Every structure is written in C-alpha cells, then in structure tokens.
Amino acid sequence: MTVPEQLRYTAEHEWVAIDGRTASVGITEHAADALGDVVYVSPPTPGTKVTAGEPCGEIESTKSVSDLYSPVDGEVTDVNADIEDDPGQVNSDPYGAGWLFKVRLDDEPPSDLLTAEQYAELISAEG
Amino acid sequence: MTQSEPAGQPRRSPLLPVHERLGATLTEFAGWQMPLRYDSEIAEHRAVRTAAGMFDLSHMGEIAVTGADAGAALDYALVGQPSALVPGRARYTMICAADGGVLDDLIVYRLSDAEFLVVANAANTAVVSRELSGRAGGFDAGVTDRTADYALIAVQGPNAAAILAPVTDIDLAGVKYYASHDAVVCGRPVLLARTGYTGEDGFEMFCRPEDAEPLWDGLTAAGAEQGLVPAGLAARDTLRLEAGMPLYGNELGPDVTPFDAGLGRVVKLDKPGDFVGRAALAQRAGQPPRRVLAGLTVRGRRIPRHGYPVLWDGQARGAVTSGAPSPTLGLPIAMAYLDSDVGELAEAQAGADAGDTRLSIDIRGRGEPADLVTLPFYSRRR
C-alpha cells in the first residue's frame, strides 16, 4: 500500500498536497482499494467555502457511497474535470491523475493533519 | 443435521487459500468468508459478458432429498412440481410460508428417480433445510444438509463452453440449459450443470471440497487463452441485476409473494395435491397485484441503492430493492417495487415520448429523474 512521504493525511483517508497557499486533495490508495471501482465523484464546486473535517462532496463506488471531507479551510478553486469522464483514475492513480479538488487556504493548514508515518500506522491498525 | 445458525467465526470455502493467493478482497457474506473482488469488479463483470469469469459459490447450500417419495415430498414442500422433472433436469422454484411469503428461491436438480439436490441461498440454507425436514415428515423421504460436502465453482460467459470442452469427458452440446450431468472435469468428478446467475451461458460444477483447488487451477489454465478471469461477489451482483434476476433479501423475502416479484409462473397451482402456501397463493393469484417489480434507469450519475424511495410526481410510491452502476449500459440501474397504479402510469409514460419524466428516485434527499424500462436490462444474443 503506497503512502507517499511528502503528503499529509486525514483519518477520513484524504491526502493533501500543500503548495504555498494551495492545497490539492484526493483520497488515499487505501481508501480507493476499500471502495472498489469508483464510478462517480461529486466534488465541491469552485467558489464553495469548505471547512476542515466537514463533508463537501460524495464519492460513489459499485457497492457504496461515502462522503468526501475537506482536510482544510478555504475556498475551492478547481476540480479535476477528467474524473467526471473517467472516475477509474481515482483507483488507478489516486495520488496523481486521480486528484479531486484544489482549495485556496484561508490560513495555515490545520496542525492536526497526519504525516505519512502516522497515516500508515492508522491504516495498519485498522487492518 | 446442520441445524445451527452461523455464529462466531465465518465459514471457510475450501477455495479460501486460492482467493488469498490471488489477493482477493474478502467479505463476510451470509456467515461465509468469500471473495468480493479480485481486482476491478467492473473488469470482472465485463469479462463475464465478453469472455468468461470463474466464481467460487461454495457458500451456496446443497440439500439432498432422497427416498421413494422424495418427489412427492418436494411437490408438497415447494411451489413447483419437482416430481415432474426427468432425471438430469433442473428447475428454478421457491419455498413459501403458509401465508405465501417467499422463504427462499431455489434450484432443484433431479439427479435420479429417488434423488434430488436442492440449492439454496447461503443465508437461508438452515431455514430451508429445517422446513424441508418438517414438511417431508409424512413421506418416505430423507432430507440432509450436505453443504459441507460440496464446493461449487461456476464458469460463466460466452467462452464457457469452449473453455470446458477440452477438459471434460462429456459432450457439452448434450447438456442443455437447466440440465445436469455427472462428468469429469480436469480429472475431478463433478456434477456439471448448465445453470447460472449472470445472464450468460455457463456451467456450475459441484465437486468434493478436496477437489476444489485442483479443479480451480485446472480451469484457470484451460481458460487462460479464452480470457477467463476470477470474478467475485460484487461482479456477480451487478451481472444478475442487469439480467433482471431477483436476489433474496432484496427483491424476495417473507413479505413478498412470487406474484409480487413477477414470478407467479413458478407457482404450480394446477399440480395435484396440497402444498404449503397453496390457499394463500391461490387467493393471491386471483387478485390484481398491489405492487409490481419494475426496472428503472437513472438519467443522472448518482447511484440508487437498496431502500431509496421511488417518487411519482414527488410522492413516495415505491422503493428501490437493488441498484448499481451498470457496466454494460453505462448508467445507473435499479429494480424497485412500485404501487401497481404507478407502475401502470409509468408504463404509459414510457410508451409515450421520452421527455420529462414524473418518475424519480430520492437519492439522499435529491430527486434524480428516472425512467421505467422493461426487465431485463440486458439479455444476451442467442
């Protein structure tokens, strides 16, 4: 199971890449594997204010639907339009082509985001 | 014999080591640890539609009914007439309660004059076995739960016959749909049946548990050039849904009669003698249906799921029993029970031009426009 070192994570299985004031968000490989084939993602629309830890969209697989949580506070600036046509990229490349949305941060990112090491521990504890 | 309900540790298919070796995602299903998917369930589904897939169905219940009166006992216990089957043929049927509610849907194989094999859903095997034992009480017939004596492997898809032909000793052209035959496959003795739950041609092989792994491996090798892939329960569910086949617990249950499910044809009211549920079902057969099982497609992309309300002009007039993204159609599909008047209105609407629709599915608080379609969603070219 891949958990890239340079990313930050949430207990809800999102990853965050922070670049200056911009955070890119997706779901982890662990989450994508648990969901099975992702068939539809309903991300927050650009302009939406999102709050860390609050649901901001949905992700549907063959078997289930889950809430998407924002890992950060800010305003959505961009969504990955390719996911609309090919949601399978969330499974095939969760940390790359399968990114979901970008947020312009209001402030510093939350201090309670998990490091790769902490997230790896979390998922191994979940089995 | 096996009167105990599943409890504690899940039961293990004899093929569990194979699934672990293949890296399957496992799930607990009806008290069994079974493969949900090996990799992508959509790819597995497509393989079954275009080539072939292999399923471990060892969780299914096998109940032997034997004795001079076995056929008569089953005629009394079930809504069909198994005594009319010739040896080597099988029939889809149901076991109902006295009030006509469905206790399980079954396939009954007649193996010889005095020997039947009843295949039940895993979740219902104990109930079916108990009911059959009770109902066979006055007959010269014995009922034995033999689930632990069998593994069950299915090969389903347009290439199924081509995969099996070189590794079996019998002529598959002689095994018609819903027929069974003793055979040797990959050197192992099996009961080979041309049955399935995918809407494709295919075979189900009942074998001894100790033969399951070598049989699986032999079939894997035989199918390598024919696109055969292992397929899990997730693909099995979307395949049966596209084929419009009911699933116990979704479309069928103790509060549903065969007539509600559009399967009144399985109730043989003209067979001689009494059977459990006859009075209630005879009454039900003469009444207009209160609700109808319908096929729906969704115009948007959100997926209808079990229990979601179906709306007519915004009013809840039904409920989804099964829903999934259809890999073959490329859109969300569902089966649902609708109040029968709404079923008629929706049918009239579907017959008119496709513009606005008064039908929608409440998907977590938002009504998603939907259309009534004739079941099944998919039928193979023959």
Query: Which segments of chain B belong to CATH 3.30.70.1400?
Result: 61-132
Nearest by Cα to B240 from B382, B104, B369, B55: B55
Please give the span between the terminal C-alpha atoms of chain B, in angstroms, as a whole number.
42
Query: Chain A residue closest to B36 (CA)?
Result: A36
Angle at B259 between CA B254 and CA B265, to 5 degrees: 120
Per-residue pLDDT of A87-99, as tens digits, reads 999 999 999 999 9
Interface residues from chain B to A (CB-CB < 8 Å): 25, 36-37, 40-42, 234, 238, 301-303, 305, 324-325, 364
B288-373: CATH topology is Elongation Factor Tu (Ef-tu); domain 3 (2.40.30)
- Within a domain: A1: no
Among A residues 6-65, those touching chain B with beta carbons less than 8 Å apart? 33, 36-37, 39-40, 42, 58, 60, 62-63, 65
- Within a domain: A120: no
Residue B3 pLDDT level (bands cut at 50, 70, 90): very low
The residue-averaged pLDDT of B280-286 equals: 95
Q: What is the pTM of this model?
A: 0.95
Per-residue pLDDT of B196-227, as tens digits, reads 999 999 999 999 999 999 999 999 999 999 99
- Within a domain: A115: no
From the list A33, A37, A65, the residue facing B41 with the nearest CB is A37
- Within a domain: A116: no
Counted domains in chain A: 1
Residue B331 has pLDDT above 70, yes or no: yes
Integer Cα distance of B127 and B280 in angstroms: 20
Backbone Cα Rg of chain B: 21
Query: Which segments of chain B belong to CATH 3.30.1360.120?
Result: 11-58+150-242
- Within a domain: A89: yes
Q: What is the CATH number of the domain that holds A105?
A: 2.40.50.100
- Within a domain: A90: yes
Query: Which segments of chain B belong to CATH 2.40.30.110?
Result: 288-373
B240 CA: distance to closest CA in chain A (Å): 14
Mutation target vs B (from A41, A63, A68, A86; most B CBs, 10 A cutoff): A63
Among A residues 73-102, those touching chain B with beta carbons less than 8 Å apart? 88, 91
Token pair 């010739």 is found at: B86
Count of A–B CB contacts within 8 Å? 39
- Within a domain: A125: no
Please state the separation of Cα B321 from the chain's center in Å.
15
Q: Which CATH superfamily is domain B11-58+150-242 in?
A: Probable tRNA modification gtpase trme; domain 1 (3.30.1360.120)
Domain B61-132, second-level architecture? 2-Layer Sandwich (3.30)
- Within a domain: A32: yes
Do A40 and B36 count as a contact with CB atoms less than 8 A apart? no
Q: Which domain holds residue A87?
A: 8-110
Residue B1 has pLDDT above 60, yes or no: no
Token pair 């089953």 is found at: B74
Per-residue pLDDT of B105-155, as tens digits, reads 999 999 999 999 999 999 999 999 999 999 999 999 999 999 999 999 999
